[in-house]
Chains A and B, each alone.
Chain A
Amino acid sequence: MTAVHLAALVKRYGATTALNGLSLTARRSEVTAILGPNGAGKTTAVEICAGFRRADGGTVRVLDLDPVADARALKPRVGVMPQSGGVPVSARAGEFLRLIASFYAHPVSPAALLERLGLADHARTSYRRLSGGQQQRLSLAAAIVGRPELVFLDEPTAGLDPQARHATWELIEELREAGVAVVLTTHHMDEAERLADRVFIVDHGRVVAHGSPGELTGAERQLRFRARAGLGLDELLAALPAGSAAKESPAGHYLIEGEVRPELLATVTTWCASHGVLAEDLRIERRTLEDVFLELTGRELRG
């Protein structure tokens, strides 16, 4: 069931176009990741969904309602975790979460949620004295304490240490199991690969590719190895099946693309043996979202 439907969304700030025809769909019981470099328009898209901003063009439907016109009906049903802040600096963690919980009819127990997020010992600590990671977790807690149907999490794991990151991932998976529609933004491809049912890769304010992580990275594999720089690749290429590609980048790092079958591996190692080349770190790997992104945009994901 569709929770969020954005079609041809346009948003301009003066001369800058933040969203340039962005379209995406998010469903219930799924995690939808909006993946892209900084400045790609991820936060703007979330803020339009949350009703903080109006789009200049296109369609926005959140739980089949309009985020601005139907704000009153939507607010109890949608949780929003902004990218940073949003909590009074002098507020104590427990006090703030209890306040937010008291706005809802059937909240999760604030104490249990603090415990769950490893903040129980900091319930009486003021927001300004929490570490960056603890602030992030409190902000996440405030977004889900009201038991919403849909949550928007803007970079939920930014600044978290690996342990806290995994705890957050588990919580997000539990939200999905419970039937919540989760929409998150990230520029970490591992986060999208691990969590997302559907990924929308965004660049320059529009979706450049979307699908499940498996669909996006495809079944394609590639072969990599390291050896001395400047091997004669033309000769190797001649030995490989048609449609393969070989390149050296950077110097001494070789990448063979094509249908990676046992025969191809044998051809490469045989060729290396006959040229006295020791292929180090030889490995067969799947393409990552990062590779996909690079291919689509020619840019690193971490912009």
Chain B
Amino acid sequence: MSTFMPAPGAAPTGRLIAAQTTYEIRTLLRNGEQLLLTMIIPVVLLVLFGATDLLDLGPGQRVDFLAPGVLALAVMSTAFTGQAIGTGFERRYGVLKRLGATPLSRSGLITAKTLTVIAVELLQAALITAVALSLGWHPHGDPLTALLLVLVGTAAFSGFGLLMAGTLRAEATLAAANLVYVLLLVLGGVLFPLDEFPSGVRTALELLPISALAEGLRQVLQHGAGLPARELLILTAWAVTGLLLASRFFRWE
């Protein structure tokens, strides 16, 4: 009997998604640029500004202000920047098209990508938490509330990351995703408190998803607040808009 005697059949859906997720996590953790973006930059910022007084971060322990902002930055770097660039190039190189010819469905692929983002975020959170604790961080509040904010924030960033990857050329996605990352890092209340901006500008900046996530996490983890309704609402609006636009305009090739 020949090796190639036809014996077609798809693996069970769970196995398909598990295989794709494992593959994506492995390749991501091997990718130097991705690690720089998702692990090294957040940790360096945390250590640099947490251990020195280069920035005036207002009253209280510097790390208590910084850690929630850096967690928000980590979520954005993985769900938005990393995912947009990675998926953009997969589209450009015909990888999405080729996977589309296999039994892995489009929804299976998106599920695998989402699981990958969550897995990487767990690693980031563990790393950032460990470093922050070593700098004297005293987190407060309900961890589940923080988790809810992170999940909605992830949905918001993923929606826009995929929208960019699925509509722009790969090079344009690369440039734009990095630009957005830097702009939101500076303007989004990650490292610098938004109170330093004039009040009109500040009100606008507070509507950014990164500001909402950073501020929401800060209210919970720094001040021990309950559910920050305003921030959650802003993030939900971004998530719904981003995911709707992505599902409407994403082109697979």
Q: Which residues of A contact B (CB under 8 A)?
A: 50-52, 72, 75-80, 82, 84-91, 95, 99-100, 102-106, 108, 112, 142, 144, 146-149, 174-175, 177-180
Contact = CB atoms under 8 A, between A and B. Distances in A.
A95 B23 contact: yes
Interface in B47-86: none
Contact of A102 (B15, B26, B31, B95): B15
Contacts of B89: 88-89
Given A84-B94, A86-B94, A75 B4 contact: no
B5 A147 contact: yes
B113 to A, nearest CB: 13
Interface in B4-52: 4-11, 15-16, 19-20, 23, 26-27, 30-31
A149 B8 CA distance: 7
B100 interface: yes
Nearest to A85: B94
A215 B31 CA distance: 54
B4 A175 contact: yes
Contact of B10 (A52, A86, A105): A105
Contacts of A180: 4, 6
A134 to B, nearest CB: 16
A91 B27 contact: yes
B106 to A, nearest CB: 10
B204 interface: no
Contacts of A146: 8, 102-103
A149 B7 CA distance: 7
Given A91-B27, A102-B19, A103-B11, A149 B6 contact: yes
Task: Give chain B's interface secondary structure class.
Answer: loop
Sort A-B residue pairs by CB-CB distance and give the 10 closest, nearest first. Answer: A105-B9, A86-B98, A178-B2, A102-B19, A178-B4, A106-B7, A80-B101, A76-B10, A85-B94, A77-B8
Contacts of A51: 100-101
A90 B2 CA distance: 32
Interface string B80-124: 000000000110011101101111110000000000000000000
Nearest to B108: A103
13 contacts: A52-B253, A72-B105, A75-B101, A86-B95, A99-B23, A102-B15, A102-B19, A103-B19, A104-B10, A146-B8, A147-B8, A174-B2, A177-B2
Contacts of A178: 2-6
Contacts of A77: 6, 8
Interface in B157-175: none
A75 B103 contact: yes
A104 B101 CA distance: 12
A99 B93 contact: no
The winner among B2, B3, B10, B102 for most chain A CB atoms within 10 A is B102
A219 B104 CA distance: 48
B100 A52 contact: yes
B103 A104 contact: yes
Contact of B8 (A82, A100, A102, A148): A148
B30 to A, nearest CB: 7
A277 B97 CA distance: 61
Contacts of A105: 7-11
Contacts of A88: 27, 89-90, 93, 95
Contact of B102 (A52, A85, A103, A108): A103
Contacts of A142: 98
Given A77-B6, A103-B102, A174-B2, 12 more contacts: A50-B101, A72-B105, A75-B103, A78-B101, A89-B93, A102-B11, A102-B15, A106-B9, A146-B8, A147-B8, A148-B6, A175-B4
Contacts of A75: 10, 101-103
A69 B36 CA distance: 43
Nearest to B3: A108
A100 B10 CA distance: 11
Contact of B30 (A80, A85, A90): A90
A86 B253 CA distance: 11
A147 B19 contact: no
A99 B102 CA distance: 11
A99 B10 contact: no
B240 to A, nearest CB: 28
A255 to B, nearest CB: 43
A46 to B, nearest CB: 11
Given A80-B101, A146-B102, A87 B9 contact: no
A99 B112 CA distance: 13
A147 B1 CA distance: 13
B24 to A, nearest CB: 9
Given A72-B105, A75-B103, A85-B94, A103 B16 contact: yes
Contacts of B16: 102-103
A225 B119 CA distance: 72
Contacts of B20: 99
Nearest to B9: A105
Given A90-B30, A146-B102, A179 B5 contact: yes
Nearest to A88: B95
